[in-house]
Chains A and B, each alone.
Chain A
Amino acid sequence: MKPFRYERADDVASAVATVTDDPRAAFLAGGTNLVDLMKMEVATPGVLVDVRHLVSHDIEDLPDGGLRIGAGVSNSMVAADRRIRRLYPMLSQAILAGASYQLRNLATAGGNFLQRTRCVYYRDIATPCNKREPGSGCSARGGHERDLAILGASEACAATHPSDMAVAMAAVDAVVHTQGPAGERTIPVNELLRLPGDEPWRDNVLERGELITAVDLPPLAVAANSRYRKVRDRASYAFALVSVAAAVEVADGLVRDVRLALGGVAHKPWRAFTAEQALLGAPATEENFHAAAEAELAGARPLPGNAFKVPLAANTIVSMLRALTEEAR
């Protein structure tokens, strides 16, 4: 662990300015991921700018019926919120499927999006990793592949994004608010996190010094009939091999609306737009669920060590759709 300076910023603007101007500076909120990485010298910021007290810790109703989650709200509070449990049950379930009570109490809604991959090579400074050390090579391909991506990976990186919360956020088309050196802007979650391409060190599209200040959940009727299913190597305290956030609305036997997003399979939460398109308006049948899942996974490029994720993802999608549509009947 390298020595660092701790600063408590007075307002968002000065925090943004500090991190914008100093390439060695980083924001600190819950610290549940960053501090670990610092101990291992995977992350070596020289300055930590504490922002947790600067961003909202509240969940507010929005005039359109949606909700605004302050970036400083703990993961625990998001999961426990009555409105979220009623209107977006998959989001509450996703958060509760991740980490532990202690971590969820400390981790923030904003920070959760920005946690780094759990790829074992990223976390070991004695092995090459393009994400940690651009251009050094990818150790994961041909190595421990179990947790790697099957969708959207590049030669440079096959890491997965570890968040559960972000998968549900992607499914509901959540939008983050940021404040950065160029002012404020909003970014849909599905655009916030990115695929690795040739720049795997960039997990997201945020500019240096740009801070997430809130997350908006749009009003979404279908989300009330939703569920998050996390398939992993043990019943608790493990990252997803495959997870599915799903919401379905069926009327007269036809799929009226549907949202599907996958975790554990890509460098970002994988919104299953192809499957959603295939299902919209189609009869809610087991065959159609299978066909939609297969269409989504047609582009999967698994590695020898994670090929099982393709049938696992397909089965889990079908299983979820079946359960949700059976309940709706």
Chain B
Amino acid sequence: MTVTSAGPSAVGAALDRKDGPLKVRGAATYAGEWPVDNPAYLYPLQATIAAGRITGVDASAALDLPGVLGVITHVNAPKLAWATDPEVAVLQSDEVAWRGQIVGAVVAETLETARHAAGLVRLAYEQRPHDTELRADRHDLHRPQHAALFGAAPGDLQDGSPADSALGDVDAGLAEAAFTLDATYTTPMNHHNPMEPHTGIAVWTDDEITLYCSSQGVHLHRSLLAGAFGVDAARIRAISPHVGGGFGSKVYPVVWGTLALMGAQLVPGRPVKFALTRQQMFALVGYRPATIQRVRLGADSDGRLTAIAHDVIQQTARAKEYAEQTVGATRAMYAAPNRSTTTRVAALDVPVPTIMRGPGEATGMFALESAMDEMASAAGLDPIEFRIRNEPAVHPEHGLPFSTRNLVACLREGARRFGWEGRDPAPLSRRENDWLVGTGVASSIYPSPRLPGNSASIHADADGRYTVRIGAADIGTGTWTALTQIAAEALGVGVEDVNLEIGDTSLPVASSAGFSSGINCWGSTIYAAADELRKLLDSEHGGMVPAEGIEASADMPDNPYMEQFAMYSFGAQFAEVRVHEDTGEIRVPRLLGVFDAGRIINPKTARSQLIGGMTQGLSMALHEASVIDPRFGHVVNNDLGGYHFASNADVGSVEVHYLEERDPYTNPMGSKGIGEVCIVGTAAAIANAVHHATGVRVRDLPITLDKLIV
């Protein structure tokens, strides 16, 4: 058996999901389903005040209940070695920083007993006044100094970028403009609701500590938990081969894991099962923070932007400062000589926000792309033409060339496929039966970054089988399939010869599935490992796999082009919207997206991810809003009956097309990220279509019928 250089490619084939048959049969093992002997069950206690401290704990009634194995509160919880991060540590003090924070747990023989006992634990509180209202006129807004990667790297915003930026003179640019816009847009809290709740089964022994979990990155979760418990990371094994959705909520927040391990410490050697309920998730797994965004645009009489200013106010938690790049896309989208962006946060007594699909870009582009539509109208230009006129030659802020940027082609191809030509731009120009019909467009953008910390190994058997190991995650995205295809391409073999192993800390370290970086990082690393294997074979075995087999491994190589090019995926999204004349009900019969995401690894799984993102964008546009009652301080619509996302009946035709162009600079595959670009812009396309249908400009998400009925 010889290993040749990268040969005829498995990449680009529309392969069925490798894990599909398992999932269809119900045989894919999710976190809560691992067969374990004699498990105990944990049920958490949550604070019923939003700020203050716990002054008393009475667990006697719970402890008296037959079947209760223990009650853990801050009084008796193990002292953690790293207790400062509220997304990791629990039960380390009497302080309550938000309503719904974990303040205890019961471990019992059955789930029912644990839940019953949890209701019997009495906590006394000393309540402080709390403050959960995000308003633009607050006096305590401040420039965020959150460090990137959840505190691991420098930078104001979570992606490492600065809170503010400025070029030229915005006031002068606005003053000289023929057309100006000054509008404020708002987006509400959106809560993470993956189908599978955050779940752990933990076993603590003197030797190994095992955590079956639902994780977007087992190595990150392991390092967080090892740090918290002060144990050698090598002692912890985190296992998560299949994940029922993550969307960012299973990257960092890990209090569920901490609590499961505390439960496991209470009954050493015995598995402890813990799955959050849907209601508990609304306080414990993070959310997209609410924003108030002011956008100012100026354009000359030809429709060329003279100024772009985007000023953002975001909600964050007093317990931990999270701030995201709501202004990030605005920095990269359109040319204008005068530009500025600012980010300010209000620290509130609320749960800690976290990344959610397109964190920052999704909310920021709702504002920018709505504003672009408003400006196009003001300037009397078609919104596509207006965008094309402001297409930058290089990154408008830092001046680097784009590795590839096919936004204009996406807009044109989308217009052709959608049937944009001949559109009457006047609002209220189409009526069918009792429905007002409108169409809208918006651009999409998302960076193609890399995350550090990746390594892969490949073992070759003499019989021609290759086992590829990397601790990557498949959160429903298709990683099992896509990495198999990449490995086959890198090895120059068929996909049937590749056996992939992911989702386990016993495998080589991998970064988390987030920031649309997974395939970029893991694929590049697998490519490097294949190169190593080839070198090893060529140098020591004459290109032949020895009878005993051979293994090579590699770390993710640096990509020097990342310093030389701005790397982004792009897209254009089109929406057709119907608004009922009598009731204001909004329907979206048609969404169409054309994406420039470089080379598509697997058109089938990519399509699934892209239509999923657009659907989530539709949901953001029309449905999703967490309602905090400021008197109590918690999200009151905290279940799937109250917190709406798009149902099947809300989603009509969702069409996806790719401009398949290999990006020469991003990675050996030529791919860019697809996981997030697809949710960026959808809400604006729909809002723009609603305006076209009704003449009503809704600047506050979600677009609900009460905003359209008069």
Our verdict on whether A and B bind, yes or no, reads yes
A interface list, Cβ under 8 A from B: 1-3, 39-41, 118, 120-121, 123-124, 126-127, 139, 142-144, 231, 233-239, 241, 308, 311-312, 315-316, 318-319
Chain B residue nearest to A309 in the complex (CB): B706
- Supposing A231-B585, A231-B705, A316-B582 touch, asked if A236 and B631 sit within 8 A by C-beta, the answer is no
C-alpha spacing A142/B632, complex, angstroms: 12
Chain A contacts for B119, CB-based, 8 A = 1-2, 41
- Supposing A231-B585, A236-B648, A239-B641 touch, asked if A143 and B704 sit within 8 A by C-beta, the answer is no
How many contacts between A and B, using CB within 8 angstroms?
86
Stretch at the interface among B23-31, B32-40, B621-629, B661-669: B621-629
Chain B contacts for A121, CB-based, 8 A = 636
- Supposing A118-B641, A124-B636, A311-B710 touch, asked if A233 and B623 sit within 8 A by C-beta, the answer is yes
**Beta-carbon contacts under 8 Å, B76-126 to A:** 112, 115-116, 119
C-alpha spacing A157/B641, complex, angstroms: 21
Q: Are B631 and A235 in contact (CB under 8 A)?
A: no
Chain A contacts for B641, CB-based, 8 A = 118, 238-239
Distance in Å: Cβ of B573 to nearest Cβ of chain A: 20
Chain A contacts for B629, CB-based, 8 A = 127, 139, 143-144
Chain B contacts for A316, CB-based, 8 A = 582-583
C-alpha spacing A106/B270, complex, angstroms: 38
Q: Are B585 and A144 in contact (CB under 8 A)?
A: no
Q: Are A120 and B636 in contact (CB under 8 A)?
A: yes
Whether a CB of chain A sits under 8 angstroms from the CB of B647 is yes
Chain B contacts for A124, CB-based, 8 A = 636, 638
Q: Are B709 and A311 in contact (CB under 8 A)?
A: yes
Q: Are B115 and A1 in contact (CB under 8 A)?
A: yes
C-alpha spacing A144/B629, complex, angstroms: 7
Whether a CB of chain A sits under 8 angstroms from the CB of B650 is yes
Chain A contacts for B644, CB-based, 8 A = 233-234, 238
C-alpha spacing A127/B629, complex, angstroms: 11
Whether a CB of chain A sits under 8 angstroms from the CB of B549 is no
Distance in Å: Cβ of B654 to nearest Cβ of chain A: 15
C-alpha spacing A121/B635, complex, angstroms: 11
Q: Are A318 and B582 in contact (CB under 8 A)?
A: yes
Contacts A144-B637, A312-B709, A315-B709 given; 10 further ones with Cβ under 8 A?
A: A1-B112, A2-B116, A40-B279, A121-B636, A126-B632, A143-B631, A233-B623, A234-B650, A237-B649, A318-B582
User: What 1/0 mask marks residues of chain B from 275 to 287 whose CB sits below 8 Å from any chain A CB?
Assistant: 0000100000000
- Interface size counted on chain B using CB atoms at 8 A: 35
Chain B contacts for A127, CB-based, 8 A = 629, 632, 636
Q: Are B631 and A144 in contact (CB under 8 A)?
A: no
- Supposing A3-B116, A120-B636 touch, asked if A234 and B631 sit within 8 A by C-beta, the answer is no
Distance in Å: Cβ of A1 to nearest Cβ of chain B: 5
Provide the main secondary structure of the chain A interface: loop
Most buried by B among A40, A127, A233, A237: A233
Chain B residue nearest to A1 in the complex (CB): B115
Whether a CB of chain A sits under 8 angstroms from the CB of B314 is no
Whether a CB of chain A sits under 8 angstroms from the CB of B167 is no
Chain A contacts for B647, CB-based, 8 A = 234-238
- 29 A-B pairs (CB sep. < 8 Å): A1-B115, A1-B119, A118-B641, A118-B642, A120-B636, A121-B636, A124-B636, A124-B638, A126-B48, A127-B629, A127-B632, A139-B631, A143-B631, A144-B627, A233-B644, A234-B623, A234-B647, A235-B650, A236-B647, A236-B648, A236-B650, A238-B641, A308-B705, A308-B709, A312-B583, A312-B705, A315-B583, A315-B709, A319-B582
C-alpha spacing A24/B217, complex, angstroms: 48
Whether a CB of chain A sits under 8 angstroms from the CB of B584 is yes
Chain A contacts for B116, CB-based, 8 A = 1-3
User: What 1/0 mask marks residues of chain B from 607 to 640 whose CB sits below 8 Å from any chain A CB?
Assistant: 0000000000000001100010101100011110
Distance in Å: Cβ of B641 to nearest Cβ of chain A: 6
Q: Are B622 and A234 in contact (CB under 8 A)?
A: yes
Chain B contacts for A237, CB-based, 8 A = 647, 649
Chain B residue nearest to A314 in the complex (CB): B582
The 9 closest A-B pairs by CB, nearest first: A308-B706, A236-B649, A235-B649, A319-B582, A236-B647, A315-B582, A126-B48, A120-B636, A235-B650
Q: Are A144 and B636 in contact (CB under 8 A)?
A: yes
Q: Are A142 and B631 in contact (CB under 8 A)?
A: yes
Distance in Å: Cβ of A39 to nearest Cβ of chain B: 8
Chain B contacts for A234, CB-based, 8 A = 622-623, 644, 646-647, 649-650
Whether a CB of chain A sits under 8 angstroms from the CB of B463 is no
Chain B residue nearest to A311 in the complex (CB): B709
Chain B contacts for A139, CB-based, 8 A = 629, 631-632
Chain B contacts for A39, CB-based, 8 A = 115
Whether a CB of chain A sits under 8 angstroms from the CB of B64 is no
Distance in Å: Cβ of A238 to nearest Cβ of chain B: 6
Chain B residue nearest to A323 in the complex (CB): B434
Chain A contacts for B48, CB-based, 8 A = 126
C-alpha spacing A259/B638, complex, angstroms: 37
User: What 1/0 mask marks residues of chain B from 584 to 611 whose CB sits below 8 Å from any chain A CB?
Assistant: 1101000000000000000000000000
Chain B residue nearest to A128 in the complex (CB): B632
Chain A residue nearest to B706 in the complex (CB): A308
Distance in Å: Cβ of A267 to nearest Cβ of chain B: 19
Chain B contacts for A123, CB-based, 8 A = 639
C-alpha spacing A3/B642, complex, angstroms: 27
Distance in Å: Cβ of B640 to nearest Cβ of chain A: 8
C-alpha spacing A97/B627, complex, angstroms: 25
Chain A contacts for B709, CB-based, 8 A = 308, 311-312, 315
C-alpha spacing A3/B648, complex, angstroms: 37
Chain B contacts for A238, CB-based, 8 A = 641, 644, 647
Chain A contacts for B638, CB-based, 8 A = 120, 124
Chain A contacts for B587, CB-based, 8 A = 235
C-alpha spacing A20/B279, complex, angstroms: 34
User: What 1/0 mask marks residues of chain B from 386 to 410 whose CB sits below 8 Å from any chain A CB?
Assistant: 0000000000000000000000000
User: What 1/0 mask marks residues of chain B from 522 to 556 whose CB sits below 8 Å from any chain A CB?
Assistant: 00000000000000000000000000000000000
Distance in Å: Cβ of B45 to nearest Cβ of chain A: 11
